[in-house]
Amino acid sequence: MEQDAQLVQRCLQGDGSAWEELVRRHTRRVYNVCYRFVGNRTEAEDISQEVFLRVYRTLASYRSAHGGFATWMTSVTRNLLIDHYRRTKRDRITDSLDDAMPVVETKESVARRPDEQALLGELSGQVQAGLTRLSPELREAVVLRDLQQLEYAEIQQVLGVPEGTVKSRINRGRIELARILQQMGVRPS
Amino acid sequence: MTWTCDQTEARLSDYLEGLLQGAERAEFEAHVHECAECGPLVESVRSLMSQMQAAEPLDVPPQLIRKILDQTLGPREHETFWQRLKNFAAGLATPRFAYGAASVMATLFILVSASGVSWRKPKLADLSPSTVMNNVSRGAHRSYAHAVKYVSDLRVVYEIQSRLRQDENQLQPVPEETAPKSNQNKPNSNDDHSRTQPKQQNRANELARQVEMLAAEFPVVMERSYR
């Protein structure tokens, strides 16, 4: 299988099929990071498209010496997610209402029991809702560590902060999330 | 030094990821065991972590990749049409399709040739139904005639050869028997001949009669021949 770096080189030389291969390889990861962060499929799709558009336009600026292509893509994804969060913060006038009522993303995941959901590999709608209540810094740390299973070193590259900060944010994010779920009335399974 | 709740919170992830060792770990566990706040917190965070880590990645929504490619590769529509055409043509380069196509072409060629359309000077009149019918029937008759002539030629040659070979050894040349017609003119001699003549003579008569029969077919074939 061709390395990402080689595909990037071919893309820069105008090979459309190399770009297509890159897209196919990385869409799943990008989409998952977006969805876990925003908790909404439509928004996650829109942001994923923006990510690839940005990557396509700035492909020449990718330097393999600075890390893997996947890490670079995750970094671009994270930046756009933060931008999106700041843009939509103004629109979130119903924050106080959201605090009172748990936001339910998917009816299916709520209808199933937590142990059933765990068996199916689904994240419960409540946990997803809880995630979207975390502050962006804590949210991205928890998503990258616990949902995307990235190593500390990679998260450090994506967020551009020291490893100590990464660990601290992950820790605080987890505790905060547990407290939010407790407030929502979700009992740990 | 007493372990505080703040410390517990600060080291919670380290503890759950197994990074606390020795004395630190013991103090942590001791505090958690006693503290009404920290105990449940540690358990809920532990459960939350295992839940999140067990979650499967979501599938990519259908059409997302296509949308991304359309947006980035831009006016791909023209290219994809030709690419699609190329792929289609490439897909046709299979032996099965080639044989099928070849046989269809051959059939069409045969039909067109049979219809009598001239390749050098094609005329629209050639395609009129009556012309086509005439050409086809003429062609069919001609082919039939050729076939009959060929088969007849074969038969005559074969028959003559086989009879001659068969009776060569046994037959003695009897000149008067080669013309059975002349024999019939003498009514008495007919009966006498058929009864008293030896076997070889009968065979000669038989052969002569058969040769005459075969020879009689020549005029028929000649009538039918267009050559």
Q: How far is CA A89 from the centre of its chain?
A: 17
pLDDT in tens, B170-225: 765 555 444 444 444 444 444 445 455 567 677 777 887 888 787 776 655 444 44
**DSSP one-letter code for B121:** S
- Domain range summary for chain A, segments of one domain joined by +: 1-91, 96-189
Contacts (Cβ under 8 Å, ≥6 apart) of B85: none
Q: How far apart are CA A75 and CA A71, in angstroms?
A: 6
CB nearest A175 (choices: B41, B68, B76): B41
For chain A, say whether B56 makes contact (Cβ under 8 Å).
Answer: yes
Contacts (Cβ under 8 Å, ≥6 apart) of B124: none
pLDDT of the residue at B216? 72
pTM confidence score? 0.60
Contact across the interface for A52 and B72, Cβ inside 8 Å: yes
Q: Are B116 and B136 in contact (CB under 8 A)?
A: yes
pLDDT of chain A along its 189 residues, tens only?
789 999 999 999 999 999 999 999 999 999 999 999 999 999 999 999 999 999 999 999 998 877 899 999 999 999 999 999 999 887 665 555 555 455 544 444 445 566 666 556 678 889 999 999 999 999 999 999 999 999 999 999 999 999 999 999 999 999 999 999 999 887 665
The amino acid present at A107, given as its one-letter code, is K
Q: How far apart are CA B124 and CA B118, in angstroms?
A: 10
Interface of A with B in 89-128 (CB under 8 A): 114, 118, 120-124, 127
**Side-chain-side CA neighbours of residue A115 (13 Å):** 1
Q: How far apart are CA A85 and CA A90, in angstroms?
A: 9
Q: How far apart are CA A51 and CA A78, in angstroms?
A: 9
Mutate to test the interface with A, among B53, B56, B60 (most CBs of A within 10 A): B60
Q: Measured between alpha carbons, how far is residue B127 from residues B109, B110, B114, B116, B130 in Å?
A: 15, 15, 12, 9, 8
Crossing angle for the helix pair A41-57 and A16-38, nearest 10 degrees? Answer: 140
CB nearest A146 (choices: B12, B52, B64): B52
pLDDT of the residue at B176? 47
- Contacts of residue B77 in chain A, CB cutoff 8 Å? none
Token pair 């052969």 in the structure block, residue: B207
- Strand spans (E) along A2-147: none
pLDDT in tens, B4-48: 999 999 999 999 999 999 999 999 999 999 999 999 999 999 999
- Contacts of residue A175 in chain B, CB cutoff 8 Å? 9, 12, 41, 45
The CA-CA-CA angle for residues B159, B163, B169, to 5°, reads 160
pLDDT of the residue at B37? 93
Q: How far is CA B32 from the centre of its chain?
A: 78
pLDDT over threshold 90, residue B115: no
The domain over range A1-91 is classified in CATH as 3.20.130.10: no
- Contacts of residue B78 in chain A, CB cutoff 8 Å? none
Q: How far apart are CA B47 and CA A177, in angstroms?
A: 12
At A132, give phi and psi (nearest 5°): -70, -10
**DSSP one-letter code for B172:** -
pLDDT of the residue at A106? 47
User: What ipTM is given for this predicted complex?
Assistant: 0.83
If you average pLDDT over every residue of chain B, what do you get?
79
Tell me the two tokens of residue A107.
């009816």
**DSSP one-letter code for B81:** H
Q: How far apart are CA A136 and CA A78, in angstroms?
A: 10
Q: How far apart are CA A152 and CA A161, in angstroms?
A: 11
The residue among B164, B165, B148 whose CA lies nearest residue B211 is: B164
Q: Are A106 and A42 in contact (CB under 8 A)?
A: no
CB nearest A23 (choices: B14, B47, B65): B65
CATH number of A96-189: 1.10.10.10
